Amino acid sequence: MQITVSAPGKIHLLGEHAVVYGYPSLLSTIDKRLEVILTLLDKSNDTKEKIQIQTPEGTGLIYKSLEIFQKAARLSQLPPLHIKVESDIPVGSGLGSSAALSVALMGALFKGIKNLWNPVKINELAYEVEKLQHGNPSGGDNTVVTFGGLVWFRRETEFLKSIWNLPSASYHLPSLILIDSGRPKETTGEMVSYVNRLYTQKKTFYENIFKDQERETRNLLSALKKGDRENVKRAFYRGEKNLEKMGVVGKKAQSLIRSIEKLGGFAKISGAGGITEGSGMILCYLSNFEKIEEIAKKFGCNIHKVNLGVEGVRIENGE
């Protein structure tokens, strides 16, 4: 028996980092997906490896997901499985590749082994995996990847999240260009801990930035609703400045962003960021696409065009 489940990548339109401290964030899925192809192997299969994994990246997150699933499904042991991962979501660049993997795998395990399809449960367990992987995540990444579209998210407490699934069709979501400023040296967990260390030292300073970021996230939402491009630009501009004040944007990303702004466009990092080397994907909008290509080339960066608000986790086949 074989089942394929896919999940999309995501971007933080605004509110990353602040969201870890209970402030809202606005997230969207992107049209890049990851697929988990799960095969239940014949029980008599006498290969020594009961769990066979084929993945372009490490297996750590897969084993964590299996452990959490096994516990939640109250199984004394897992049946023999073959897990294959295929993805077009760049890894470690702020596009939610780890959330997409834990969500798609959790979905495939529930459907394949228990014949259950419950996105709320998938999201809940993927959050447990994210906690093992990143330490103190807000839960926003796994939520948008599960439910899809555009999501207004707030972590009220560790066990209570406010999740608003907004109808993407009622918002003027721009197509964006992602400029790859390079894979960050720091993991998401390390960036979250880094901000937390600074927050503990300069609480008032950080609280003020987070409050301002909440204002900008609200401004962005209203501007997207009205299709007010000038205010979309302003919210992104101010939001990016706040991320720089938080200390999560590296030098290369900052000068790349300034170049886009000089030409009348907007650009911001998305997700945890990075300081020592790259800062992950930079969201960028400028009506003149050739200019973006030129700037990206000058900085030696690849670009990807993405559409926003696509469907969340789904069964591709094997139903």
CA 206 – CA 170 distance, rounded (Å): 33
In contact, 17 and 248? CB cutoff 8 Å: yes
Should residue 141 be labelled a site residue for ligand MEV when binding is judged by CB under 6 A?
Answer: yes
Q: Scanning residues 271 to 290, which ones bind ligand MEV (CB under 6 A)?
A: 271-272
Q: Which tokens hold the place of 29?
A: 């899925």
Residue 16 or 128 having the CB closest to ligand MEV: 16
Q: Number of residues in contact with ligand MEV, rule: CB under 6 A?
A: 14
Which of 148, 177, 168 lies closest to 225, judged by CA? 168
Should residue 146 be labelled a site residue for ligand MEV when binding is judged by CB under 6 A?
Answer: no
Q: Which stretch binds ligand MEV (CB under 6 A): 28-36, 133-141, 196-204, 305-313?
A: 133-141
CA distances from 214 to 151, 176, 202, 238 (A): 15, 22, 19, 11
Residue 20 or 166 having the CB closest to ligand MEV: 20
Binding flags for ligand MEV, 80-119, as an x/- string (CB under 6 A) = --------------x-------------------------
Do the bridges between strand 281-285 and strand 266-269 make them parallel or antiparallel, or are there none, so unpaired?
antiparallel
Q: Which tokens hold the place of 104?
A: 């798609």
CA 258 – CA 262 distance, rounded (Å): 6
When binding is defined by CB under 6 A, the residue of 3, 13, 19, 295 that contacts ligand MEV is 19
**Residue written as token pair 């006498």:** 46
Binding flags for ligand MEV, 44-83, as an x/- string (CB under 6 A) = ----------------------------------------
When binding is defined by CB under 6 A, the residue of 89, 103, 125, 192 that contacts ligand MEV is 192
Q: Which stretch binds ligand MEV (CB under 6 A): 84-92, 134-142, 201-209, 307-315?
A: 134-142
When binding is defined by CB under 6 A, the residue of 17, 32, 64, 252 that contacts ligand MEV is 17
Residue 81 or 195 having the CB closest to ligand MEV: 195
CA 231 – CA 253 distance, rounded (Å): 23
Strands (DSSP E) contained in 55-197 are 81-87, 150-157, 160-166, 176-180
CA 276 – CA 194 distance, rounded (Å): 12
Should residue 5 be labelled a site residue for ligand MEV when binding is judged by CB under 6 A?
Answer: no
Least distance from ligand MEV to the Cβ atom of residue 15, Å: 7
- Kindly report the backbone phi and psi dihedral angles of residue 10, in degrees, each rounded to the nearest multiple of 5, phi listed first: -140, 160
Q: Which tokens hold the place of 125?
A: 């367990």
3-class DSSP state for residue 311? Answer: strand
When binding is defined by CB under 6 A, the residue of 3, 7, 14, 20 that contacts ligand MEV is 20
Residue 3 or 243 having the CB closest to ligand MEV: 243
Q: Which residues bind ligand MEV (CB under 6 A)?
A: 12, 16-17, 19-20, 94, 137-138, 140-141, 188, 192, 271-272
